[in-house]
Amino acid sequence: MSRDDPDSSLTPMLCTRRALLGGIAAASCLAPLPVHAQATNPAAKLRPQPGDQLAFAAGERAGHAIAPSEIVARAEPLVAWPRDAASGLLRDGSRLNQVRLVRLDASALSPRTAPHAADGIVAFAAMCSHAGCDVSGWVAETRELVCPCHGSTFRAEDGAAVTKGPATKPLALLPLRIENGELRVARGFTRKVGFTPV
């Protein structure tokens, strides 16, 4: 999906006072359709906010909120954007906002991962802490995230700590919670996202 492709933008659901009062469109208002960011919208560039949903970044359901049950154990990480729950606005205005979601064995999580997980689901910044490439690789056997540009690897179960450089710093985690059966952002990123400038 291209952010620059106008056809990929879905029409926002307008949540008018009339609709709210009438109650007919209330369900749509509570679960609005995704609004793809315009480059000029500062809210789309805002880092993930507590209460944000997580939405598919690609595929047929791009832009739609991800339910906890859709993150399957032993599957490849799922690429997601945070999404403002009220407006449906995708925070896809900056690469720094993209995350990868995996479901891990909750009993295997170290104290560096466990407080940020929700029912074993963990969100990692998609951008490498070394030089800013997308951390697109995954080794299922060792639960390591891999940056293909320079080969850095990170242990998912242990706070995304570096297991092989050149990266010197862990990936940021995005703390999650499950609220009324929905996956939500609990707090902001655990550390600054992006490359190390030294």
Partner 1 sequence: MRGVFAAVALSSLMTGAAGADDARPYSPVTQARLENPEPRNWLMFRRTFDANGYSPLEKIHTRNVKKLAPAWTFATGLREGHQSPPIVNDGVMFITTPHNHVIALDARTGEQLWRYERELPEDLMQLHPTNRGVALWGERVYMATVDAFLVALDARTGEVVWEQQIEDYTHGYYSTLAPLAVKGKILVGVSGGEMGIRGFVAAFDAESGELAWKTHTIPAPGEPGSDTWPGDTWKTGGVPVWVTGAYDPALGLTYWGAGNGGPWTGDTRPGDNLYSNSTLALDVETGRIVAHHQYHWNDSWDWDEVSTPLLIDYARGGKTIHGLVHPGRNGFLWFLERAKDRIRFVDAQPFVRNDVITKLDPVTGRPDYDLSKKPAVGKPATFCPSLSGGKNWPPAVFSPKTRLLYIPANDNLCATLNPEPATYTPGQIYTGVELMIGSETIDFVLHPEAKDHIGELQAWRVDEKPQQVWEHTFKQHLWGPLLVTGGNLVFAGGTNDRAFRAFDARTGKVLWEQRTSSGVVGVPTTYEVDGVQYVAVLSGWGVDAERIQGALNAKLPKSEQVSVPQGGVLWVFALEK
Applying CB under 8 A, the residues found at the interface with partner 1 are 1-4, 94-96, 127, 131-134, 136-137, 146-151, 166, 168, 193-195, 197-198
Q: Which is nearer to partner 1, 132 or 188 (CB)?
A: 132
User: Please, what is the minimum distance in Å from the beta carbon of residue 11 to partner 1?
Assistant: 23
Write down the H helix ranges in the chain: 17-22, 26-30, 42-45
Q: Which is nearer to partner 1, 66 or 147 (CB)?
A: 147
Q: How many CB atoms lie within 10 A of CB 3?
A: 14
Q: Which is nearer to partner 1, 149 or 161 (CB)?
A: 149
Q: Which is nearer to partner 1, 3 or 177 (CB)?
A: 3
Q: Which is nearer to partner 1, 74 or 150 (CB)?
A: 150
Please report how many Cα atoms fall inside a 13 Å half-sphere around the Cα of residue 151, on the Cβ side: 3
Amino acid residing at 38? Q
Residue 83 near residue 65 (C-beta atoms within 8 A): yes
User: Please, what is the minimum distance in Å from the beta carbon of residue 103 to partner 1?
Assistant: 24
User: Please, what is the minimum distance in Å from the beta carbon of residue 84 to partner 1?
Assistant: 20
User: Please, what is the minimum distance in Å from the beta carbon of residue 149 to partner 1?
Assistant: 5
User: Please, what is the minimum distance in Å from the beta carbon of residue 135 to partner 1?
Assistant: 11
Residue 54 near residue 84 (C-beta atoms within 8 A): no
d(CA 92, CA 53): 13
Q: Is 170 left (phi over 0), alpha (psi -120 to 50) or beta?
A: beta
User: Please, what is the minimum distance in Å from the beta carbon of residue 189 to partner 1?
Assistant: 12
Q: Which is nearer to partner 1, 24 or 139 (CB)?
A: 139
Measure CA 33 to chain center. Answer: 17
Residue 55 near residue 82 (C-beta atoms within 8 A): yes
d(CA 93, CA 78): 19
Q: Enter the tokens of residue 14.
A: 């307008």
